[in-house]
Chain A
Amino acid sequence: MGSVGAKDVPVLLSPEGLRIDGRRVDELRPIKIKAGALKHADGSAYVEWGENKVMAAVYGPREVHPRHLQQNTKAVIQCKYNMAAFSVDERKRPGLDRRSQEISKVIAEAFESVVFAEEFPRTSIDVYIEVLQANAGTRCAGLVAASVALADAGIPMADLLPAVAVGKAGGAIILDLKKEEDNFGEADLPMALVPQSGRLVLLQMEGHMTREELAKALDMGVAGCRGIYEVMKQALRDRYAVTPGPEGSA
């Protein structure tokens, strides 16, 4: 998108069908997740995904600030997605911008769809996502980090929320866009999956696709999310697994 006046468009797909960083069309970037990365938060997680570095912290259930947001029947989930000024090539002016506010809203709604908020009436569950280094797909990386952080905080939920962006670049539908593919590609479709139900709780699209391409992208994204789900579960096992006993079960 945003190709108006763009120059030096890189070759996004080689004749062999390989991408700018050598990946196949349906291949994820390497992803590393550490559950419990911060000492003072109730729950936290750190995600390195390609060249993205994202930290998430969860506080709560705790008192609601501001007070008027308090709900008598359930916890409110407040999410703040923020990009560090130094996380992108050209310094980003710190503070609230419309993009961050929209992303915070859709991420909060995604979590509200799986967290058992009715167990904590009159409280707030605060989710903070800080993008330290950005290379496309930060809302998905943030959502994955926050989901593991919620689990780390012991918040009861129906499921973890793996997320990934599918897009279109060089005419092909591709999984997990990196920066060049996002900047010079034709479409970006971030999504988050509830693996147990197979339903999507976050879905946005920027750019353009035909309906056939969209159908393919949805299927590719769901498969990608299932791969990320395994990494998320492993991160939690790594943090909480007890030392194997004589039986050797991990």
Chain B
Amino acid sequence: MGVLRSGMRPLSSLILSNIVRYALLIIGGVICFVPLGWMLSTSLKMPGTEFIFPPNLIPRPVVWSNYIDAVTRPGHPFFLYTRNSVVITFLATLGTVLTSSFVAFGFARIRFRGRDFWFIVLLSTLMLPDVVRLIPSFILFKLLGWIDTLLPLIVPFWFGVNAFYVFLIRQYFRTIPLELDEAALMDGAAYVRIYWQVILPISGPVLGAVTIFSVLSHWNDFLGPLIYTNSVDLRTLALGLRFFMSRTGTDWNQLMAASILMLAPILVLFFSMQRYFIRGIHMTGFGGR
């Protein structure tokens, strides 16, 4: 229909309107890209030249040493920070995907008494601001002796605490025909098998979307590690970045290089799973925070 409409208009006005469209798209693109380009450019500048005003938009000369300096800073074990971030992100995401889908299976496919009530309770936790959970959780973890360990950043996610993911997966599970699991009187083990061998394998899109949301949120989390850990050995990348800044001055080149290194795996994930991601958002009509 759109083709028909534009087909009726003269060619010259079609070309003109396309030029306007591209011009607008490019203006928006420049606004989105300039800060990122600035980050990249700063990370490649010779130390010292980042303080020049007016600034050079293109680094001259291009140096890579900032990246090496950033990961070998004395007293700031970059690779250890990376390992901590990887461990937390991996274990928390694994727990999130497994338990959210397990719980979602119950809500989506078994008609038990009290189901609607608990589902509403689940949804209402979406409205709870994190800060309300923060203080009592801190006290709980303190009682458990978990402060200054990585446990508070991992264990809660093995209990399906993120209602949004449970909701997302449940919506998807409900689109799968029920015949499979209602056919016979079965015991619990059979149900678990259906969840594991029938439902999960055909739920790639939604599990992919949840994986991306979860990886992003754990990799980028700042407040959690800030509150629950103290030791240098337990710092995550998000926390570690802060120590490029000091009262005596900031190594902007190194800071930007470290930021790019932190961003790189996320970019790879984003580009390789972009399809799932977009579909995940379309599935519910909205995305995660």
A and B are interacting partners:
no
Binding site for B on A (CB under 8 A): none
